[in-house]
Every structure is written in C-alpha cells, then in structure tokens.
Chain A
C-alpha cells in the first residue's frame, strides 16, 4: 500500500471557552494519492475545521496529522508555510482574488512564495489559465470576470505550483448551478491528471460527482463510502 497523502489520526479540535466547543472529535481519515473526495455535512459539523487542519492552516488540539508522509505536529509556523507553498493548493468559496492585479498575476501569486522569478511565474500561470479555459482572460481584472470564471482563476492559482493535494472549501457555493457543474468538471479533470482533490460541500450534486464521500456530523465521521483503493 502506498503512503497516504493525508492521514488524520484521532484529531480533536477544541476551542477554549465556556463552554469549550469541540469542532472535531477524534476524527481519523486517510486519503490516498489520486483520490477525489467529498466531505459533506450540515453547517457546524466541522467540515471547514477539517479542511483547515488537513491544510495545515490550523493545528489539532490533539491527535496527529501526516501530510505526504510527513508528521506536521513538530513543525513550526515557518515550516508549515513552506509546506503549504510547495505541496498544497487551496480553493475557497469566496475566490479571494486580489482586485488590484490582473487575472494572470493573481494566478502567478500562487508561486510567489516559492521564490520562482516573475517571468517564470507568469509563464506557468498562463499555462494554468489555459488549462482551466481562461487563456483569453489573462490581462483582465477579476472584477471583469463572471463568478464561474473567477473560481476557475482561483483553481488555476491553486494548481499552478502542481501541489500534491488541492483542498476546496465550498467551491461552488457562490455560483449558479451551470457554473457549479463546470467547476466540478474541472476538479474531475485535475483528478484525472493525478492530483488528489478534497472538496468540502453540502451540495449532493457536487458530492455525487466525487469518487468517495465522507459525511461529518457533530465533529465525527458519520459515514465514509471509501475510495477505490480503500479496503
């Protein structure tokens, strides 16, 4: 069996307070390379916390997180940042494109913190935009794009550095259904090219298009359909 891309073991995320809130309660999840996974669940079930922890944006209160075979619990903030820069790609519901920059520069920003020089960043960004079907929109501003185009730009930014895993948090949440379907298609394309994709969604349509579905409820894994390589 190959080594897992993401492996959460007994992960608890507790927010101190009165009363303390446990967002994740002993979640164990193993994602193999090349999986296409949907994490589902109602609001407050801990989906986003799971994504943040799997993406090293947050740390578990207890339990271990291994990404690409590396234990992240002993890493400091700088090491985790470097990890994100080189191995992880993020897609958010709100796109988070920077208005002051062109579409091309927004995508090139995906390589900014890897020390790649500007010309090379733009070259790779153009390739990534071509791949998501926005080769004709390079010099436009995000404000000139439709919602679907903005999310495709954000996906190009997430994959421009060829990360091991793309983590998408409600990528179709702000889109109409036609644009949403196009985004799902795009994520499936990425998966076909070998990228591991984890999508958080509460849309059954989006979840239905994924190979494996994990359902969360009150911070616990309620159901896991299991992936193709899963026992």
Chain B
C-alpha cells in the first residue's frame, strides 16, 4: 500500500508540546504535582544520604574502638566509684591498646572568683591520668595536654565545650580559672570529642593535684579503653569482670560510637516515611495529569477530527496525547529533581556535609515518567477511539 500515514518522531514531539504551549498555566500546575513529589523524594533521600555519609565518615574517623567503663549509674547523675585497681587490671588485657582513668569531682568551675557560685554552666571537674588524650584518640586545639609533671600542679586542660562556655578561645596570655576555691592555670584546650561529650564539657586536672588540693579520694569513676580494632567485642565481654571482679554485674560497659550508629538507624526509618509521602504526592500528581489529559481530549475533539481528516491514524492520535502526557510528567520530574538537588546541595552546604544525590533519587524521575505514561494512556486511547465523524460534529 503506497498510501500510508507517516509521522516523524521529531514531529510527534512538536505535537506533544503544542498542547502544553496552548495551555501553559494548566500544564504548569499539573506538572507541579509531579515536581513536588519528585522534589520531596530526591530532597529527602539526598539530605539523609548526605547526613548519613557524614555520620559514617564521623564514625570512621572516630573509630569504634573506644569503650567506657562505669560502675553503674547513680540517680543524682553523678558517677559511682570503681575499684582503684580497675585501671591496672584492664591494662593487662592484651587487646587493650590504651586505658585511662578519670574521676568526676564534686567541685565546680568558674571563670573567676567573682562569678556567683550557682553559675556553673554544667562544666564538671575531672581528675584524669595523662594517658587520656591517647586513649580518646583526641587532639589539642591550643596549648598542651597535662603531663606527669604538670599533674602535680594547679594546671588544667579544658574540653572544647567548656572552653567555649568560659569564653576562652586562645591561650596567648596566661589564663586562670577558679576551680574548687583555687586558681588553676589553663594549659590547653582540646578539640571537640564527639565520642566523649562529658570530657568536652569538663575541666581536666591531674590526679595528684586533685588528691592534694580538692580532697579527691583516688577512686576512678569512668575508665576509657581503646581496644585493638578486631578485638573490640572480646574486650567488651571481659571488661566488667576485669574492672570489678567482686561485682561484675554492677559495671556498665558502653561503646559511644553505638549512639552514632543508632542515629543512622533512626534516620533510615524516618526517611522511609517521608519517601512514602513523596510517593503519594507523585501518585496524586499522576491523577492530576490524567485529569488534565481527559479535559484536553474533550476540548480538542475538533482538532482530533481535523487530524483524522488530514490522515492521522488512530495510533498516531494516541501517540500525540500519550507523548503530551509523557512530556508533562518528564518536565515535572526534571524540575522536581532539580529542586530536590538544589535543596540537598543547599542544606548539605549549610551543614558542611559532602553533597550526595543517591541513585535512588533518579528512580523518582523514572517513576514520574512511568506515571505520566499510565496517566496518559487511557485519555490517549479515548482520543484514538473517537470516530472522525463524531469528532467533527461540532459543539
């Protein structure tokens, strides 16, 4: 048959855009529904992925080797005493690389002796041995950490949070703070310690000076243990009995990095919820497109009739309306991906994270296009089924 209708692909695209160009506002509004759904999915996935990668990087950087040992917990928020031999005993475990004992003291810390006594700012005083920095894998921001000599004198090292509260951000000039009715010279400020927030908020002093000047009884209350990477579980299992052989059940061993890992899990579950909402928005957007396509087919009956008279086949009419619906959902999806990406990039930049757009986000675009196809299919078939004579029977 030489008389066949042919329609080039490029012409089909022009036809698809014709309907949208003729009713821009309506097209924009119906694409908006898809955009919102895709933007929500891409944005939520991107933001959680970026923050999770930040958390993972943090866990990676901090290591999961750190364990803390406490002798139970007291109701008043203080720390119970551990046996004095605990530190030594733990140090004998072969897989323990570093161990350090600290004790929470009763005294409070003030910027000067003129500050009212109730303004403690939640900063604790801790006696510590000089191995603490190595055990926590921490670093000094300014000055130095305590050494064996300084531990005998009224010298203190501030955690990052404590220094910030006290308004001390440099050590160019000799700086003193008021601890337990005595002046202590600040010799160092630590970098933040995400795995040991209690050290972050503490003023650290040497074990001997604590005993001589602050009436410290010498019992540790919290011991930090840095275990060999592949032995953390094994060390964890025997720490209780080693630290307090008489009452091992009283000893609480925890792994601070678990708290970060738990945050990962919480994020994942809330992400699922928001993705679900995004998917619903996408579906509603699809219903909107189907609605718009039905109206379009109804309004353009005479155009359909005309095109049939000009030689368009039923499949070509269906293709025109299906392509229009696909174009609508694709444009909506692309705008959604762009908006979600911009939101992710903005938020991640604000938080100082690396920007990560997960590949699952692109699946939202594909889903949007698929929804456009499904939404457009029935209206397109209705348009194609329309008899030319009915389509041309005007108004």
Point out residues on A near B: beta carbons under 8 Å. Answer: 52, 55, 57-58, 77-79, 81-88, 90, 92, 94, 96, 98-101, 109-110, 112-115, 117-118, 157
Contacts and interface: CB of A to CB of B under 8 A. Distances in A.
Given A82-B5, A112-B7, A98 B311 contact: no
B22 to A, nearest CB: 4
B305 A115 contact: no
A92 B310 CA distance: 12
A113 B302 contact: no
Nearest first, the 6 closest Cβ-Cβ pairs linking A and B are A85-B311, A115-B6, A100-B22, A113-B311, A82-B3, A82-B4
B308 interface: yes
Contacts, number: 100
A112 B11 contact: yes
Nearest to B8: A115
Contacts of B1: 79, 82
Interface residues of B, number: 33
Interface stretch (B50-58, B146-154, B159-167, B387-395): B387-395
B312 interface: yes
A115 B7 contact: yes
A120 B259 CA distance: 70
Given A77-B313, A81-B308, A84-B309, A58 B11 contact: no
B87 interface: no
Given A100-B22, A113-B5, A113-B6, A85 B310 contact: yes
B39 to A, nearest CB: 29
Contact of A84 (B6, B311, B315): B311
Given A78-B314, A110-B310, A118-B11, A83 B302 contact: no
B182 interface: no
A77 B308 CA distance: 10
Contacts of B306: 90, 92, 96, 98
Given A57-B389, A117-B8, A109 B310 contact: yes
Interface centre among B305, B388, B394 (most CB of A within 10 A): B388
B18 interface: yes
Interface of B: 1-8, 10-11, 18-19, 21-22, 302-303, 305-316, 387-389, 392, 394
A96 B305 contact: yes
Nearest to A53: B389
B5 A96 contact: no
Given A79-B1, A84-B310, A110-B310, A101 B6 contact: no
Contacts of A101: 18
Contacts of B5: 78, 81-82, 85, 113-114
Given A57-B388, A57-B392, A112-B312, 7 more contacts: A58-B389, A77-B313, A78-B5, A78-B315, A82-B3, A113-B6, A157-B310
Contacts of A112: 7, 11, 310, 312
Nearest to A55: B309
Contacts of A87: 3
Nearest to B316: A113
19 contacts: A52-B388, A58-B389, A78-B315, A79-B3, A82-B311, A84-B308, A84-B311, A85-B3, A85-B4, A85-B312, A92-B309, A92-B392, A98-B303, A100-B18, A101-B18, A112-B11, A113-B311, A118-B10, A157-B310
A85 B1 CA distance: 13
A57 B22 contact: no
Interface centre among B2, B311, B313 (most CB of A within 10 A): B311
A114 B21 contact: no
Contacts of A110: 310
B25 to A, nearest CB: 14
Contacts of A82: 1, 3-5, 311, 313
Contacts of A84: 308-311
Nearest to A70: B3
B304 to A, nearest CB: 10
Contacts of A52: 388-389, 392
A75 to B, nearest CB: 9
A88 B312 CA distance: 13
A85 B6 CA distance: 9
Nearest to A75: B1
Contacts of A88: 309
A101 B22 CA distance: 9
